[in-house]
Amino acid sequence: MKSATSKLLHPICGRTLVGHVLAASQALDPEHLVVVVGHAREAVTAHVADVAPEAITAHQTEQLGTGNAVRRALEALPEEPGTVVVLNGDAPLLTTGTLRELIAEHTGANNAATVLSATVPDPTGLGRIVRDADGALERIVEQRDATPAERAIHEINSGMFAFDGPLLRAALKRLTTDNAQGQEYLTDVVALLRGDGHPVAAVVAPDYRETLGCNDRVELALLRALLRDRLLDAWMREGVTVVDPATVWIDAGVTIGRDAVIYPNVQLQGSTVIGAGAQVGPDSTLTDTQVGEGAAVVRTHSQGARIAAGATVGPFAYLRPGTVLGEGGKIGTFVETKNADIGAASKVPHLTYVGDATIGEHSNIGASSVFVNYDGVRKQHSTIGSHVRTGSDNMFVAPVTIGDGAYTAAGSVITDDVPPGAMGVARARQRNVEGWVERRRAGTPAAEAAARARAAGSSGGSQTGDEPGGPVSGASAGEPPAETEK
């Protein structure tokens, strides 16, 4: 992999390589679950404890082969009868269904060993399954030891097995390192058991891709694409519309309701849940986000947010952790939210930051508003009541409360609470400084335009402004706010 990260910890579709194998194994409810670790032991052990707390880890101090690895795993377990299933940690496409078939065949035939095999398009470099005239497993032969006829076989050993536990323990003690690589091969256990007269068999995986492993970044990308296609196929067959599967990525932990529509260039990550009939995209990335039934999310980046039924988000919105948008609510264009609880049917339509705030129901936040929540030391909370109308270009300096039914005037910096039903105004009155441009900007195109307008007897429109640094406002103190949306 040419990576500082263990191969097992490289992620695809929301889980690590080993995480996918653990998930398939956990669904079997095994009595014991052991992960053999070697390279990057500390990191792998910590990850296993996080995703599979019931699993234990066994340390292979030296990488002395697959047989040695299984020996280390069994040393961590009590000696008891039962089936031991051995899996590769880098086979993320393996399914629980295939494992069940392997175990059923193994126990049903009372085998000593059962190999999970696969019929592959190109077997180059892989161990071949050699069967006798009756179709029974005769032996497993590595390519370097195979005859030309054996190399033509396309059924290969996946490296995954089911064993009779006590027989496996006994056979492992007989393994040697008398081979080209000086390692203990698990495949030799199969040969030993067959030589002792015990029944062995090979079960062909229903899809050879389930047995694929990963040895470099090219193969990692291939596995990722295959898993993405499998997940999308499954959801589409469950009644989800994916408009362009080639550009959509869905993690294994995502849940999607029927009649949801996923548009191009969408990424659904982590534990995201999309409700029935919801629409997501195009160009949205949702991580650990809940989207309610019938909601619409367009060109949005969201992490850890909850969007209720019938709500709309975007385009170009950024929902950070702790965002809650109520039923029928709206978070609009170029709006960022964080730790914000926005009530049912309330709207934050444009160009606004809402952080550490609670907004009641049926309220409207004017464009270009900022909830000033950080004083350089502490984060503070703001509360906007229900049926509130705030003007454009407002600053709410936390902690502050706007009562139910209150208004705030455009351009206000609100530092004090506004009682219910009151109008909050916090701005200077406008004054016009006549002739300022011609005096202070003489010779400029603006001054020439002003002169022409005066000469023509026209005011040239409302001239607003003041000396540099003076206040600019759009309405007097007694006027209602300029709202951006009703």
Angstrom distance (rounded) from CA 408 to CA 390: 5
66, 67, 71, 77: CA torsion to nearest 10: 70
Angstrom distance (rounded) from CA 444 to CA 136: 96
> Exposure pattern of 119-133 as b/e (b: 16+ CB <10 Å)?
ebeebeebbbbbbee
Nearest one of 120, 192, 85, 110 to 129, comparing CA atoms: 120
Which of the residues 32, 154, 198, 350 is marked catalytic?
Answer: 350
Q: Which neighbouring-strand residues pair with 400? A: 382
59 is catalytic: no
Nearest one of 25, 19, 70 to 44, comparing CA atoms: 19
Structure tokens at 352: 């606004």
> Could you tell me the CA-to-CA distances from 333 to 190, 281, 394 in Å, in that order?
63, 14, 17
The strand pair at 306-307 and 312-313 is best described as unpaired
Is 207:158 a contact under the CB 8 Å cutoff?
Answer: no
Is 413:391 a contact under the CB 8 Å cutoff?
Answer: no
Structure tokens at 216: 């470099």
> Could you tell me the CA-to-CA distances from 204 to 117, 118, 188, 211, 305 in Å, in that order?
5, 5, 20, 10, 44
Q: Which residues are catalytic?
A: 350
